[in-house]
Chains A and B, each alone.
Chain A
């Protein structure tokens, strides 16, 4: 119970999360009118198709989760459920270059980015959720399967260098290569996990096959170095005519990001379990002599006896993100349709529809409806402000968790500040 709760805790603990991917050209790709851009961005995100924002808010602020709230989560849950939370904080610098090695270049800029990233994702069964939220009494007299059960937590810094080419603000491409410095990785995966609770309560049996990997738990603070890796980001945007020639072409964007890995040093630990363990309680040889206890062990001691541990390096493949979007501008509106998929992250295909309206020369206001990813159905609003060289975008693509935290989960906040000349 304790470990399952810890598992769910780590699912929700961090709300400093990676941004929802924006549908237009990345900010590091300079448009033809500008030569330099630098900026800061921050994004926090959490969502789940079973848990509600009550849990994520609870880990931040504390409080009691009522049975009604937990029943809501259980009613939302299917047999297989997911949860994801990510956050990043980054800064970038993009600079047009006109020539390299005496070759003239047109529409080319280089960019540099440093980003601090935290990424958590999990999948869990309805039974596992029931166990964590309500206890094991529901399963009395039954043999219960708890899988799927998997959780991954990553924390690392990304140092990226890349170049981009933008020909006419419609066709562009970019490529970035990153050095990744890893602080913390935890991965729990249960291949099989079954729980039996006797109806009379006198037997508790757990069969489990799985493993838990953890990078060096010491020195895992910011900029601590417990692993090294690399990744690639690349993308392309191009005009795409949907409507007749009387209309502006739409912009099709395709991108792949975080195609890479982190290799964690041999100070990491791998714990393997493959056992069936039954617990019957402390055994007394003579009830009239409380000191005559044959067996009574702390659960931690039991766990140590059933698992094998070794110091071993391991490699984490980053969840690569594949995204495609189509944007169309008409009058004062920008319309966008997007699809995103992340590999190896329990991420359901994500689809979003956005619409942005220019309210003035400086202000734009937009909204988005989406489905998939780690949630069900959600949406958000955002605002963009541009004046002279300053650009600010702030908003959320998942506000349902702020409005109805006891019934929905999606919560996101993002901020982008850029200065472009």
Chain B
């Protein structure tokens, strides 16, 4: 019995031992992912198109310069005053008696311009009346040349009497938006002139008012914050210079270095004049700066050597659009410019210096210049270049957000190490260097995936323009437990692609080229049985 008891206790102890998991490691090889990689995927759709022969083209369309000529429409705030004062004596005015009345042609000081018509987008006119008359009065004010829906501007306000000799002051403000101001004056033969008329009289419902010597009635009216939406006249002969720098294209900011030599490039500058003013344009300087390589190339072209004259736009009074802009296209190519070199520098910043002369021949329109608000002179660029180039270590960078799924983390962390097998079939005549950098939440690089100098070799052209036999290769990228741990800390990934063309000549890229990428894991994995 004692022996049996001992045996039972031994069995119980055996079974009750704390059980660790059972583990063993295996070498596993399995596909992880596959993709068809094309250059077009790395470049925004708006920057590429496919030509007739399947050849890929770079394309870019955008604005180089855009100058609003709203500055010629600046109307300064202007105040006009008038006053009535009885010098001597005393006079008693019956109700309804006019004591102040005038018609005035007010000339506005608008620098360099002779305006005949002004359409107001927004603005105000204010009246400040100061009176020490001891009876109520009425002021009527009109601007016959300012009309809205055919009706001239007219106001009528009551001014209460002063008391105890102290003047009473009133200010009235009126919105003059959408008014058309004819600035030719009473006889329609002038410019910058606004004719106004006013009458001040004793209130008809009042008793007679006695006015003594020294009593005053002052009127001040002010045009303020006038923003025109249209102006016509003559805007003067004016030289405008503009300079600055701008981002050429967000895509070029993805270029991280390297050199590209384009075989050819076609650029058309579109100079568009949206205002009714003759102009001449000279691009004194247009320099493309590649901030990665710290290189710059200045454009040499006809438009940088001599001014380009562009006619005024014309008005279309009965159709839409109301303005027919005037346009000149300036082609740039290898024969008249260094445009290929300019683009090959891959400028991500453009600095420019522009000179524009308005009315170089002065007032040949007989004060029929016109300007609409938010219009001016634009210089646009349309560039195309076939993907026919040679490149050396041209780097494209792309940053994307990344979050490793935590489902399956336990299983993934059982990977003890191994390799990523990057199998590729490359139709491009380009050697691709690849690297993926892991960044943490502070965008600090914490690790990378590919081995140093990992290259997907490019196909070799065999006497024709088009690749006939793709290049197949495999890269073995070590995969460590440290990299796997870092993947879970990664919030962003920088993809870096390095392009170097194969052979000694420029290569063409066709739309049906691709890299067939198949990534597998060759890993040592710890199997765990709980």
Contacts and interface: CB of A to CB of B under 8 A. Distances in A.
Interface of A: 1-2, 5, 9, 58-65, 67, 70, 132-138, 140, 197-198, 200-204, 279-290, 392, 394, 415, 417
Given A138-B27, A201-B520, A287 B20 contact: no
A288 B29 contact: no
Contact of A201 (B19, B23, B421): B421
Contact of A288 (B25, B400, B529): B400
Contacts of A204: 30-31
B529 A200 contact: no
A145 B520 CA distance: 22
A253 to B, nearest CB: 28
A171 B423 CA distance: 76
A65 B41 contact: no
Contact of B31 (A63, A65, A202): A202
B438 to A, nearest CB: 13
Give the interface centre of A5, A59, A67, A200 by most chain B CB atoms within 10 Å. Answer: A200
Contacts of A65: 22-24
Give the interface centre of B26, B495, B518, B521 by most chain A CB atoms within 10 Å. Answer: B26
Given A288-B41, A289-B400, A290-B400, A135 B34 contact: no
A284 B36 CA distance: 8
Contacts, number: 126
B30 A62 contact: no
A5 B21 CA distance: 14
A201 B34 CA distance: 11
A59 B26 contact: no
Interface in B1-58: 3-4, 7, 14-15, 17, 19-37, 41-42
B34 A283 contact: yes
A280 B525 CA distance: 19
Interface of B: 3-4, 7, 14-15, 17, 19-37, 41-42, 398, 400, 402, 421, 423, 474, 495, 517-522, 525, 527, 529
Given A287-B41, A415-B7, 6 more contacts: A59-B529, A135-B29, A140-B29, A201-B522, A202-B423, A288-B41
B17 A63 contact: no
B22 A59 contact: yes
Contacts of B400: 288-290
Contacts of A1: 26, 28, 527
Contacts of B25: 67
Contacts of B29: 135-137, 140, 197, 201
Nearest to A55: B22
B31 A417 contact: no
A288 B27 contact: no
A287 B517 contact: yes
7 contacts: A135-B525, A138-B27, A201-B423, A279-B30, A280-B31, A281-B34, A281-B519
B41 A281 contact: no
A288 B398 contact: yes
Contacts of B21: 62
Contacts of B35: 283-287
B32 A200 contact: no
Contacts of B20: 61-63
Contacts of B37: 287
A9 B529 contact: yes
Given A5-B529, A138-B27, A58 B22 contact: yes
A288 B31 contact: no
Contact of A281 (B27, B398, B520): B520
Contacts of B19: 60-62
Contact of B22 (A63, A136, A415, A417): A63
B30 A201 contact: yes
Nearest to A135: B26
A198 B518 CA distance: 12
Contacts of A62: 19-23
A295 to B, nearest CB: 9
Contacts of B529: 5, 9, 59
Nearest to A385: B3
A137 B28 contact: yes
Given A280-B31, A283-B35, A394-B7, A202 B22 contact: no
Contacts of A9: 529
Nearest to B515: A287
Given A279-B31, A415-B7, A201 B41 contact: no
Given A201-B521, A281-B31, A282-B33, A133 B24 contact: yes
Contacts of A392: 3-4
Contacts of A287: 35, 37, 41, 495, 517
A279 B529 CA distance: 25
A417 B520 contact: no
A280 B30 CA distance: 8
B348 to A, nearest CB: 19
Give the interface centre of B23, B31, B518 by most chain A CB atoms within 10 Å. Answer: B31
Contacts of B32: 281-282
Given A59-B529, A200-B518, A288-B495, A64 B30 contact: no
A191 B212 CA distance: 127
Contact of A202 (B15, B34, B398, B525): B34
B507 to A, nearest CB: 22
B22 A290 contact: no
A200 B7 contact: no
Contact of A417 (B4, B23, B24, B402): B4
A203 B31 contact: yes
Nearest to B35: A284
Nearest to B521: A201
Contact of A61 (B17, B33, B517): B17
Given A288-B495, A392-B4, A415-B7, A136 B518 contact: no
The 9 A-B pairs at the shortest CB distance, nearest first, are namely: A201-B520, A62-B20, A135-B26, A281-B31, A202-B518, A137-B27, A65-B24, A135-B27, A284-B35
Contacts of A59: 22, 529
Contact of B24 (A70, A137, A201, A202): A70
Contacts of A58: 22
A285 B525 CA distance: 29
A175 B27 CA distance: 54
A280 B33 CA distance: 7
A94 to B, nearest CB: 21
A126 B20 CA distance: 28
Contacts of A203: 31
A200 B24 contact: no
Nearest to A130: B26
Given A201-B421, A282-B33, A64 B24 contact: yes
A286 B41 contact: yes
A284 B33 contact: yes
Contacts of A282: 32-34
Contact of A136 (B15, B28, B519): B28
B33 A133 contact: no
Contacts of A64: 23-24
Contacts of B521: 201
A257 B423 CA distance: 59
Nearest to B434: A287
Given A65-B22, A202-B518, A281-B520, A134 B527 contact: no
Contacts of A5: 527, 529
Give the interface centre of A61, A281, A289 by most chain B CB atoms within 10 Å. Answer: A281
A135 B28 contact: yes
Contacts of B26: 1, 132-136
Contacts of B28: 1, 135-137
Nearest to A5: B527
Nearest to A392: B4
A146 to B, nearest CB: 15
